[in-house]
Amino acid sequence: MRIPLAKYGVREVLLFGGISLLGAALSAVFLWYLTPLFVVAVAFVLYFFRDPSRRTPGEPRILVSPADGKVVEVAEVEEPRFLKSLTHKIAIFMSPLDVHVNRAPCDGQVETLVHQPGRYFNASIADASAHNEANAMTLAHVDGNTRILVRQVAGAMARRIVCAAAVGQHLERGDRYGMVKFGSRAEVYVPVESGFEVEVRLGQTVRAGETILGRFR
């Protein structure tokens, strides 16, 4: 049976979970009234690094959300660096209470992976997109004509971006490929000329690998 914890968080679970368990044991002996605090800390570490199974829809010509969280931006923007075109941009804010494992929005081959140093603004605001540390991944969509950009963006608390994908690797829709630890942001860019139609709205809650962001017409 698969343990529903993210493999990308094993180090943190062992470190912080172990410290919290030790604190709970010691406090139970010497300062019993502090024990609940350490128990809560253990529970939070396990809760944050959870990695539940998801049922990815099999419908063709769709993109699914790469992250759990709330949609904080839906717009048409120029993407000059990777796609070099007018794009649909969908941004998702992951609070510390959301699942932080990221999943591929579509079937495709990883073409580029670029880490961008930056700041650590609150990931829910627009400035985070332009200025925060981020990891950019472009996917060659299986239709052979469309390239999609997915960005993992650090936040005020998030100081570690994990991307386990490799250039040349083929990802299936819904495949896990990394996570951003603690509050953060995920973004998807799709060329307008591809015929993609966005179906999510601002403020909508989405789930990685399950929620349909839109369809190619």
What torsion do the CA atoms of 68, 73, 75, 80 make, to the nearest 10 degrees? Answer: -80
Hey, is 202 helix, strand or coil?
coil
% pLDDT > 70, the chain:
92
% pLDDT > 90, the chain:
58
In a domain, 1, yes or no: no
In a domain, 57, yes or no: no
pLDDT digits (tens, 9 = 90+) for 100-113: 899 999 999 999 99
User: What total of structural domains would you count in the chain?
Assistant: 2
Looking at the structure, do residues 211 and 130 belong to the same domain, yes or no? yes
pLDDT of residue 170: 96
In a domain, 53, yes or no: no
Beta partners for residue 50, in sequence order:
5
Looking at the structure, do residues 150 and 93 belong to the same domain, yes or no? yes
Looking at the structure, do residues 103 and 204 belong to the same domain, yes or no? yes
Query: 194, 146 in Cβ contact below 8 A?
Result: yes
The whole-model pTM stands at 0.85
* Mean pLDDT over the full length of the chain: 88
In a domain, 177, yes or no: yes
Would you name the residues annotated as active-site residues?
Answer: 184
Looking at the structure, do residues 102 and 186 belong to the same domain, yes or no? yes
How many residues are recorded in the chain? 217
Distance between CA atoms of residues 118 and 126, nearest Å: 14
Distance between CA atoms of residues 68 and 71, nearest Å: 9
Looking at the structure, do residues 150 and 68 belong to the same domain, yes or no? yes
pLDDT of residue 17: 66
pLDDT of residue 99 exceeding 70, the answer is yes
CATH of the domain at 162: 2.70.70.10
Q: Comparing 25 with 165, which gets the higher pLDDT?
A: 165
pLDDT of residue 18 exceeding 80, the answer is no
pLDDT digits (tens, 9 = 90+) for 73-88: 999 999 999 999 999 9
pLDDT of residue 159: 65
Looking at the structure, do residues 38 and 110 belong to the same domain, yes or no? no
Looking at the structure, do residues 119 and 20 belong to the same domain, yes or no? no
| Lowest-confidence segment of 122-131, 172-181, 185-194 by average pLDDT | 122-131
In a domain, 55, yes or no: no
Query: 120, 64 in Cβ contact below 8 A?
Result: no
Q: Comparing 121 with 91, which gets the higher pLDDT?
A: 91
Give φ, ψ of 34 to 5 degrees. -90, -10
pLDDT of residue 127 exceeding 60, the answer is yes
Looking at the structure, do residues 16 and 89 belong to the same domain, yes or no? no
Per the structure block, which two tokens stand in for 184? 């953060």
In a domain, 166, yes or no: yes
pLDDT digits (tens, 9 = 90+) for 30-72: 777 777 777 777 777 777 788 999 999 999 899 999 999 999 9
Residue 43, domain extent: 7-48
In a domain, 54, yes or no: no
In a domain, 100, yes or no: yes
Per the structure block, which two tokens stand in for 98? 């959301």
Looking at the structure, do residues 74 and 176 belong to the same domain, yes or no? yes
